[in-house]
């Protein structure tokens, strides 16, 4: 490499090996030239110069190691110095203009705060899985009646278990002030399908969906603490729901929620007789299932559509028509629960991101305005000192 | 050819003193220092010239010399060393120690009976 080219590279930092080579070869060349002037032929002169110098390789390596260490320490120190200077400068200018600092900090804080708030919601609802064991296996299946649920549960091979629930609002009374709370009417296997163990007592057993056995209830941790003061002797006691006494059999843990945070009481649905109009006709139920190992959502959906064609033919009450069940869907439960909020949430995240950008632009504008004022002031104060 | 001491006899500190002393006359590159030592000692102290450079680095690390790149008398890029104020002060102290030591040894050697 020519030394002229190296001078350009030097712009990006010292060229340690090149410099060491330059210094040592200069010495050897000069010594060889002196020997040659005294009458030695060039190669002998070169040889003599190297002999007199000693071990060129060793010395050059030692010098490189030394210089590189020096450059590294120097660079490190320069970075730290710059950083400290910038920080001190920032602090000084913040203190000099408190009003400006407060406005800038507030603007950025609002922008950042909005983003953090929305992002934590997006994170909880969209990015993290549902808070249930192996929640990736949980799917929702199309269907609204108990007949559809019962038949899917009996026939489908894609699922390890299928459950159903219907959200409602019930009046609770008897033990304290009457109040209205959100509740869910569920198939007996729902809570065990979700896979969360109760904190106290048990969840429902299979025959509690049958008529006359269904007057049992599982409480949420919230209502247990609030209405029953966390009393551990609550099991076996009665709670009056819609005027009917239900025996409390269990309490769910504090962070459990299904299908949403509002639901305080779970009761088993009382299944009507298999051939009845209520069985085939009363809707409002949702079906949730756990996929068997290795079964994909697409395969489960295909099976569900086949089964629905059969269920349509089985219907003793009316003929639902040839299109019945052809658009049946199986989808990840998380998608179904979050539902339309999904688009809204992403939209909201985009909006607050733009708000943050605008906040940044505003602060930048403030800085520009302030800086142009400052420049004028500075140029006045600097003018006299420019004289000498 | 005059008798010469071996390079190994030259203690590192001594080499440092020689370099600083040579730089009192003005900035010089490594080869210039070697030539100066060679001519002022009539080639008695023949140093292994390569060892000059690590010694120069040590002096620079201690702040006794500083260096910068410049052009040599034959227009080549060369690194020039300059003695600093701290270097001069160090040289003064070391030189007086050396003088006293040399005087003491000389006195001993001159004392009767004569060595040869």
Full strand arrangement of the beta sheet holding B65-71: B28-29, B77-83, B65-71
pLDDT of residue B104: 92
In chain B, residues with a C-beta closer than 8 Å to the C-beta of A24 are 50, 53
In a domain, A117, yes or no: yes
| Chain A CB within 8 Å of residue B57 CB | yes
Which DSSP category does A85 fall into? H
Range of the domain at B40: 7-110
- Please tell me the distance from the alpha carbon of residue B34 to that of residue A52, in angstroms, as a whole number: 11
Based on the domain organization, do A288 and A199 belong to the same domain?
yes
Which of B29, B49, B76 faces A54 most closely, judged by CB atoms? B49
Radius of gyration of chain B (CA): 16
User: Exposed, middle or buried by CB within 10 Å (0-12, 13-18, 19+), for B111?
Assistant: exposed
Based on the domain organization, do A113 and A82 belong to the same domain?
no
In a domain, A386, yes or no: no
Based on the domain organization, do A299 and A165 belong to the same domain?
yes
In a domain, B116, yes or no: no
Asked if pLDDT for residue B33 goes beyond 60, the answer is: yes
Here the tokens at position A77 are 């120190």
Asked if pLDDT for residue A145 goes beyond 60, the answer is: yes
Based on the domain organization, do A188 and A264 belong to the same domain?
yes
pTM over 0.90: no
- Please state which of the ranges A223-232, A243-252, A335-344 shows the lowest mean pLDDT: A335-344
pLDDT of residue A140: 94
Pairing of strands A216-219, A244-251: parallel
The verdict on a CB contact (< 8 Å) between B48 and A54 is yes
In a domain, B1, yes or no: no
In a domain, A127, yes or no: yes
Q: Find the helix or strand (DSSP H, E) in which A266 lies.
A: strand A263-268
How many folded domains does chain B comprise? 1
How many pairs of residues across A and B have Cβ atoms under 8 Å apart? 55
Give DSSP secondary structure letters for A113-156. HHHHHHHHHHIIIIISPPSSTTGGGEEEE---SHHHHHHHHHH-
Q: How far is CA A153 from CA A172, A272, A381, in A?
A: 32, 16, 86
Asked if pLDDT for residue A348 goes beyond 50, the answer is: yes
Based on the domain organization, do A155 and A293 belong to the same domain?
yes
In chain B, residues with a C-beta closer than 8 Å to the C-beta of A53 are 48-50
In a domain, B115, yes or no: no
Residue bearing tokens 């000059």: B52
- Residue A16 C-alpha, separation from nearest chain B C-alpha, in angstroms: 13
Pairing of strands A244-251, A286-291: unpaired
In a domain, A381, yes or no: no
Per residue in B62-97, pLDDT (tens digit) is 999 999 999 988 889 999 999 999 999 999 999 999
Per residue in A291-332, pLDDT (tens digit) is 999 999 999 999 999 999 999 998 888 888 888 888 999 999
| Chain A CB within 8 Å of residue B6 CB | no
Question: Is pLDDT larger for residue A77 or for residue B42?
Answer: A77
Based on the domain organization, do A367 and A236 belong to the same domain?
no
- Please tell me the distance from the alpha carbon of residue A227 to that of residue A175, in angstroms, as a whole number: 8
- Please tell me the distance from the alpha carbon of residue A144 to that of residue A197, in angstroms, as a whole number: 27
Pairing of strands A238-241, A330-332: unpaired
Based on the domain organization, do A104 and A190 belong to the same domain?
no
Which of B49, B57, B76 faces A66 most closely, judged by CB atoms? B57
- Mean pLDDT (whole number) for A105-126: 91
In a domain, A384, yes or no: no
Q: How many residues does chain A have?
A: 388
The interface pTM score, or ipTM, of the predicted complex is 0.83
Asked if pLDDT for residue A9 goes beyond 70, the answer is: no
Range of the domain at A346: 97-132+337-374
In a domain, B88, yes or no: yes
A194-216 burial: b if 16+ Cβ within 10 Å, else e: bebebbbbebbeeebbeeeebeb
Asked if pLDDT for residue B2 goes beyond 70, the answer is: no
Asked if pLDDT for residue B28 goes beyond 90, the answer is: yes
- Residue B101 C-alpha, separation from nearest chain A C-alpha, in angstroms: 30
pLDDT of residue A11: 56
pLDDT of residue A5: 52
Mean pLDDT score of chain A, rounded to an integer? Answer: 88
pLDDT of residue A358: 93
Based on the domain organization, do A126 and A207 belong to the same domain?
no
- Please tell me the distance from the alpha carbon of residue B37 to that of residue B22, in angstroms, as a whole number: 7
pLDDT-based confidence at A149, cuts 50/70/90?
Answer: very high
Residue bearing tokens 């010239």: B49
Rounded-to-5 percentages of helix, strand, coil across chain B: 55, 15, 30
pLDDT of residue A288: 95
Asked if pLDDT for residue B108 goes beyond 50, the answer is: yes
- Mean pLDDT (whole number) for B100-113: 89
Per residue in A156-209, pLDDT (tens digit) is 999 999 999 999 999 998 778 899 999 999 999 999 999 999 999 999 998 999
- Please tell me the distance from the alpha carbon of residue A153 to that of residue A158, in angstroms, as a whole number: 10
Based on the domain organization, do A219 and A312 belong to the same domain?
yes
In a domain, A56, yes or no: yes
In chain A, residues with a C-beta closer than 8 Å to the C-beta of B30 are 23, 26-27
CA A127 to chain centre: 4
In a domain, A137, yes or no: no
Which DSSP category does B45 fall into? B
pLDDT-based confidence at A2, cuts 50/70/90?
Answer: very low
Based on the domain organization, do A125 and A244 belong to the same domain?
no
Q: How far is CA A171 from CA A180, A242, A270, A299, in A?
A: 4, 5, 18, 42
What CATH code is carried by the domain that includes residue B47? 1.10.10.10
Based on the domain organization, do A255 and A111 belong to the same domain?
no
Per residue in A78-89, pLDDT (tens digit) is 899 999 999 999
The verdict on a CB contact (< 8 Å) between A27 and B34 is yes
| Chain A CB within 8 Å of residue B100 CB | no
How many folded domains does chain A comprise? 3
Name every residue in A having a CB less than 8 A away from some CB of B. 3, 19, 22-24, 26-27, 29-31, 52-56, 59, 62-63, 66-67, 70
pLDDT of residue A12: 61
Rounded-to-5 percentages of helix, strand, coil across chain A: 55, 15, 25
pLDDT of residue A381: 56
Based on the domain organization, do A183 and A295 belong to the same domain?
yes
In a domain, A158, yes or no: yes
- Residue B100 C-alpha, separation from nearest chain A C-alpha, in angstroms: 32
Q: How far is CA A286 from CA A44, A130, A157, in A?
A: 99, 17, 19
pLDDT-based confidence at A375, cuts 50/70/90?
Answer: low
A276-310 burial: b if 16+ Cβ within 10 Å, else e: eeebbebeebbbbbbbeeebebeebbebbbebbee
């Amino acid at each position: 490499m020519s030394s002229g080219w190296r001078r350009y590279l030097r712009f990006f930092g010292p060229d340690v090996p090149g410099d060491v080579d330059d210094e040592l070869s200069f010495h050897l060349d000069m010594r060889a030239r002196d020997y040659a002037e005294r009458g030695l032929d060039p190669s002998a002169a070169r040889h003599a110069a190297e002999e007199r110098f000693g071990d060129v390789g060793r010395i050059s390596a030692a010098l490189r190691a030394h210089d590189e260490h020096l450059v590294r320490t120097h660079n490190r120190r320069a970075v730290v110095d710059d950083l400290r200077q910038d920080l001190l400068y920032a602090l000084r200018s913040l203190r000099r203009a408190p009003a400006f600092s407060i406005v800038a900090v507030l603007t950025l804080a609002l922008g950042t705060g909005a983003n953090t708030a929305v992002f934590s919601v997006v994170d909880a609802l969209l990015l993290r899985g549902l808070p249930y064991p192996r929640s990736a296996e949980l799917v929702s299946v199309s269907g609204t009646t108990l007949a559809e649920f019962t038949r899917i549960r009996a026939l489908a091979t894609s699922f390890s278990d299928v459950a159903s629930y219907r959200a409602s609002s019930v009046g609770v009374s008897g033990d304290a002030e009457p109040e209205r709370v959100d509740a869910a009417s569920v198939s007996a296997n729902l809570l065990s399908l979700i896979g969360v163990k109760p904190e106290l007592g048990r969840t429902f057993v299979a025959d509690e969906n049958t008529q006359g056995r269904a007057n049992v209830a599982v409480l949420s941790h919230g209502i247990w603490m609030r209405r029953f003061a966390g009393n551990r002797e609550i099991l076996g006691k009665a709670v009056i729901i819609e005027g009917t006494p239900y025996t409390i059999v269990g309490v769910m843990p504090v962070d459990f929620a299904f299908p949403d945070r509002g639901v305080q009481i779970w009761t088993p649905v009382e299944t009507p007789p298999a051939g009845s109009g209520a069985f085939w006709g009363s809707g409002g139920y949702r079906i949730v299932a756990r996929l068997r190992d290795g079964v994909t959502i697409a395969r489960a959906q295909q099976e569900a559509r086949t089964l629905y064609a059969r269920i349509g033919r089985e219907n003793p009450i009316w003929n639902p028509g040839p299109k019945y069940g052809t658009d049946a869907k199986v989808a990840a439960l998380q998608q179904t629960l979050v539902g339309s909020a999904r688009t809204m949430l992403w939209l909201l995240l985009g909006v607050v991101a733009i708000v943050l950008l605008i906040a940044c632009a505003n602060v930048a504008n403030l800085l520009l305005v302030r800086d142009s004022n400052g420049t004028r002031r500075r140029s006045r104060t600097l003018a006299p000192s420019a004289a000498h | 050819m005059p008798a010469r001491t071996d390079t190994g006899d030259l203690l590192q500190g001594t080499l440092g003193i020689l370099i600083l002393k040579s730089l009192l006359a003005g900035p010089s590159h490594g080869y210039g220092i070697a030539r100066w030592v060679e001519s002022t000692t009539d080639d008695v102290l023949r140093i292994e010239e390569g060892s000059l450079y690590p010694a120069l680095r040590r002096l620079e690390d201690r702040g006794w010399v500083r260096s910068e790149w410049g052009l040599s008398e034959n227009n080549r890029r060369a690194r020039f060393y300059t003695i600093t104020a701290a270097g001069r002060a160090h040289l003064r102290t070391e030189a007086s120690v050396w003088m006293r030591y040399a005087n003491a040894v000389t006195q001993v050697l001159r004392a009767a009976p004569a060595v040869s």
